[in-house]
Amino acid sequence: MGDPRDAEIARLQRKLASLTAEQDKSDAEAIKERDDARAALREATDQIAALESDLGGAMARVAELEAKRQTTNEALDDAVQELRRRDTQTAEEASHG
């Protein structure tokens, strides 16, 4: 029969091969998880950029509407003042005439 150490060496070599295979599988899974995380991060970054663009457009629209509201308020104020002036003038004419 052979040296008993040969059997132990063979057993240890099989154990090493098994552990190496497990480590390779773990490494491959970790790499896949990392790649998936990177892809998710890229997608999230793209979504954030799109949302920021939408927000910029919305803010510009709000500013536009606020400017229109200001113009409308000024025009309404002018119209109210003109109506009051006319009412006052009509009332004065009626009281003098």
C-alpha 13/C-alpha 7 separation (Å) is 10
In this prediction, residue 1 carries a pLDDT of 58
- Vertex 65: Cα angle to 63 and 66 (nearest 5): 65
Question: In the chain, which residues have pLDDT < 50?
Answer: none
C-alpha 49/C-alpha 68 separation (Å) is 29
| pTM of the complete model beyond 0.75 | no
In this prediction, residue 2 carries a pLDDT of 76
In this prediction, residue 93 carries a pLDDT of 85
